[in-house]
Structure 1
Amino acid sequence: MSPDRYLAELARFLERLTELARQPDDVLSRPVPACPGWTLEQLFGHLGSIERWAAAVVRGGKYVEEPAPPATGAAAWFIEGAEPFLATMTSVDPGAQCWNFGPPPRTAGFWLRRQAHEHAIHLIDACQASGRAAPALSEDFMIDGVAEVLAMFTPRQVRLGRMRPQEQAVSFRVPGLRVPGAGSWTVGSGTAAASVTAALPDMYLGLWGRSSLQETAAIDGDAGLALRVLREPLTP
């Protein structure tokens, strides 16, 4: 996907999140189903922290510490920072050298992708907590999100020792896509001994723990291997 496309999606998600952050306190105090221990207010505090962190990184090109959210008023803090954050991301030169936690080349364009998907997933969380309908996500955006998890996050989880290396590979498949050549990814090395096949929305949400691939996916081959991989922390 192009930088402009990431920005357009990010702007759309931010607009909806800002609307949800203006809800009454009794709604902001509701739990977030996919984030145990968090209220909706705390979810907005997390987003406000992430946004300020990412903006500081792309402005300076170097790693900085993520700021802590305020103890109270986190939703208002998020609203206050949303417009400056989007302005910073809009001004980014995608090809500029910039620290990030993905594979080389390390450029600022990483953050456009990362923040678009960060906000998509947390918008879904906020909608669930608010009792609102989740946003419709396009096919190419969800394909890109699946690729980000399986080609960037999962190898990083292994590299950092958060996830065990797999002695045999598991393939992840999404059938019936309109995008040519898309729909197949592999975790682990060697010939795949198992496959996990699911519809695109189930795969996108399932990899982020927002639905259960163990319930929605078709598993072929070594089911034990596939289930072990699905139980691993594929994402942070």
Structure 2
Amino acid sequence: MTTVTPAVDPSSGLRSDGGPDLDHLSRLAALQAAVLAEVPDADPRAPVPACGRWTVTRLVVHLARIHHWAAGQVRRRQETPLGRGPFDLAPFYAAQAAELRDTLAALPADDPAWTLLGTGPVSFWHRRQAHETLIHLHDLRAAALGSGPRAARERSVDVPAAAWGDAVDEVVGMFLPRQVALGRAAPLASSVRLTATDLGWSWRLGPADTDPDRDAAAELRAPARELALVLWRRLTPGEADARITGDAGAVTSLLDDRLVP
């Protein structure tokens, strides 16, 4: 299967090729509702796989704080400190989720906001917060099952493959260039192609002077969901049953770097 990979403007999160945009705002609301539904039954002390020493408590508080901070970025105002806690997790998360959702809904998508790339449109945060919530809902389920691979297999977050593909695109088009610009990641020495096998979409990463007509040094192939979780270090390529062809070292070098904050 071969299809045209959507071209998305990283500064707005919107298609730049005239294609239909994903409804990130509706997806954000649905993902927030899913998080809130699962928090009351979650063990607050359960460790979160792939997140170091994080527990469920720290995960939920982090996501709530990120929502609150992002709402301030949208309004171009410093957010009001929320305090150190401890917090009653479900009401605390519900309040910050609602604040973000209501803030985004109240403003035109093209209004100016503070973004991770400087001043840009509010729509940037529709996409960024939908993906933030998507990844952390996976984390919450991984904590409940004690395993990221089990969560991906048995309790995968139910969003279309195109939403997972867009999460891949955000890493490739926004996060990785930003990480390199901030000195948090090294420029790629070899070209790597990422292919979402269920969508037929692919992205080529590599040195700026790489001949686009030459084959990449390596390719990493997996369904969009697994590819996104690999880039976010929630799954290894082996856990994702990803296929690597060409220079496996180029893929390892890519994934060992800090692709996301």
Q: Distance in 1 between matches of 2:79 and 2:105?
A: 22
Mapped contact 1:53–1:67 kept (Cα < 8 A)? no
Aligned AA (1:6)? H
Q: Distance in 1 between matches of 2:201 and 2:111?
A: 30
Structure 1 residue corresponding to 2:96, chosen from 75, 78, 81: 81
Match of 1:159 in 2: 181
Aligned AA (1:9)? R
Amino-acid identity (%): 33
Report the CA distance between 1:217 and its aligned residue.
2.0
TM-score (norm 1): 0.87
Matched, 1:226 2:251: yes
Structure 2 residue corresponding to 1:99, chosen from 110, 114, 119: 114
Q: Distance in 1 between matches of 2:41 and 2:201?
A: 38
1:150–1:92 CA distance, 2 compared to 1 (3 A) = same
| RMSD between aligned residues | 2.3
Match of 1:53 in 2: 69
Report the CA distance between 1:141 and its aligned residue.
0.6
Structure having greater relative contact order (Cα 8 Å, sep ≥ 6): 2
TM-score (norm 2): 0.79
1:38–1:68 CA distance, 2 compared to 1 (3 A) = farther
Aligned AA (2:144)? S
1:208–1:69 CA distance, 2 compared to 1 (3 A) = farther
Report the CA distance between 1:17 and its aligned residue.
0.9
Could you give the per-residue CA deviations for residues 141-197 of structure 1, whole angstroms, max 9, x where no partner exists? 1111110011110111111111111232111112242xxxx6111222214222111
Report the CA distance between 1:82 and its aligned residue.
2.1
Report the CA distance between 1:214 and its aligned residue.
4.9
Q: Distance in 2 between matches of 1:81 and 1:109?
A: 19
Which deviates the most, 77-86 or 157-166? 77-86
Match of 1:211 in 2: 235
Match of 1:30 in 2: 46
Which deviates the most, 158-167 or 113-122? 158-167
Listed as ranges, the gaps of 5+ residues in structure 2 are 1-13, 15-19, 146-150
Mapped contact 2:191–2:218 kept (Cα < 8 A)? yes
Match of 2:23 in 1: 5
